[in-house]
Each structure stands twice: as C-alpha cells, then as structure tokens.
C-alpha cells in the first residue's frame, strides 16, 4: 500500500511517470510530428506547489518548471543556455463550463473522480475540453495555485485539491492522453526545481 503522508497536512510530494498517447480525429493531422514534439513519456516532480515536467521528446522543448513562490513558469530548451519564462497570471484560455462527475475510475489502485473543463483558447479561439481524473489520495493545497491563472489552475485545483493521474486534453482535431504508470512518493530536494540557464527571456 502506498502512503502519501507528508509532514503537517499529508500533501503529496514525489515523482509520477505518465505515458502519452495522441489520438487524431482529423486525417490531416500529422501524428508523427506531434509525437516528436510531445514525446511518449513525461516525468512529473512535485513539492509544496513547485513542479517540474521532464519530457522524453526528440523536439527542442524538454519540459518546464513552475516556481510557486514567484508564480512563474520556466520553459526549458534542449542544449541551450536560454530558458523562457512567463507569469502564471497570464491566462491562456477562458472557461465555458466546469463540472465534476461522481463516476469513479481506478488508476494504479486509486479511485479517481472526474473534473471536466470546457474552455476557449485565447490565442486561436479553439474549443478545448480537458478531463482530469484525480484521487484525494494525492492531496495538495489549492492555495498554492490561487494566483495561477495559466490553464485556469486556480479554478481547477480549487475543486480537485489533488494531483490528476490521468488527463485527456481534447482540441477537437486531436486529443492527447496523459496517464500515470508509476507513483513514487518521496522527499525531493529543492534543487530539483532549479532552472539552470544563464539567460532568462520573458514571454510576452
């Protein structure tokens, strides 16, 4: 049995591995290009509201880091001394509807609830539907994301209060599914969330 208790509040700290699958709904979509960009496996590190995504991708983008204290995202590029960043106050999409569903799905032995978010991307007006399958076993403090409007995290985590174990991101012409394959609760060093880049460039 996995234990997720950490000091004080029992918040999750550790590493989760996710497999990625891309499902085209339009024959014109180049899935090979998408798979090169997104990769097939991501590793997620989480501690006290800070998180890091490491991507196994053949593209130049290799992941991102979120600094909860600064409410900043850092985007990492392969073999580069430059990292771009933006504030979490920058909205990427506007919510059309958000709902929870009491149908439970079991992932790695954890009973998960469903949160569905329909939104419209501000950059290109595309309708996006995201389905988060989450378990209260992987508890987090929603106050960590209270100021993070990127991807509507402030709204989403105020409802889930947990790390999702599966995400279905549907853009209409294709969808991406992220599903946890391994959960490793453990103490992480703060250095896991350091951005090692000589030059930081703000994304406007």
State in words which class domain 14-202 has. mainly beta
User: Residue 144 is encoded by which pair of tokens?
Assistant: 């960590």
Among the residue ranges 4-8, 33-37, 100-104, 146-150, the one predicted with the least confidence is: 4-8
Instruction: Point out which residues pair with 54 in neighbouring strands.
Output: 43, 63
Q: What is the pLDDT of residue 6?
A: 42
**pLDDT tops 70 at residue 171:** yes
Tokens 């394959």 -> residue = 181
The total of other beta-carbon atoms located within 10 Å of residue 188's CB is 16
**What value does the mean pLDDT take over residues 145-171?**
96
- Is the pLDDT reported for residue 25 higher than 90? no
Sign of the dihedral through C-alpha 101, 88, 127, 163: negative
Q: Where are the domains of the chain?
A: 14-202
Q: What is the pLDDT of residue 168?
A: 97
Q: Confidence band (pLDDT; 50, 70, 90) for 5?
A: very low
Q: How far is CA 124 from the centre of its chain?
A: 21
């Amino acid at each position: 049995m996995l234990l997720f208790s950490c000091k004080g509040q029992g918040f999750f700290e550790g590493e989760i591995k996710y497999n990625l699958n891309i499902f085209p709904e339009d024959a014109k979509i180049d899935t090979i290009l998408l798979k090169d960009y997104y990769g097939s496996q991501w590793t997620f590190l989480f501690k006290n509201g800070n998180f890091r995504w490491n991507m196994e991708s053949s593209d130049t983008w290799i992941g991102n880091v979120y600094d909860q204290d600064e409410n900043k995202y850092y985007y990492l590029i392969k073999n580069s001394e430059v990292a771009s960043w933006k504030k979490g106050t920058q909205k990427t999409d506007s919510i059309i509807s958000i709902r929870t569903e009491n149908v439970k799905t079991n992932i790695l032995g954890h009973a998960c609830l469903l949160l569905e978010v329909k939104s419209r991307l501000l950059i290109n007006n595309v309708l996006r539907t995201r389905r988060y399958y989450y378990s209260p076993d992987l508890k987090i403090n929603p106050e960590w994301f209270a100021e993070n409007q990127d991807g509507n995290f402030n709204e989403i985590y105020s409802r889930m209060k947990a790390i999702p174990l599966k995400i279905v991101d549907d853009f209409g012409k294709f969808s991406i599914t992220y599903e946890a394959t391994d959960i490793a609760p453990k103490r992480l060093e703060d250095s896991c969330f350091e951005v090692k880049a000589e030059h930081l460039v703000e994304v406007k």
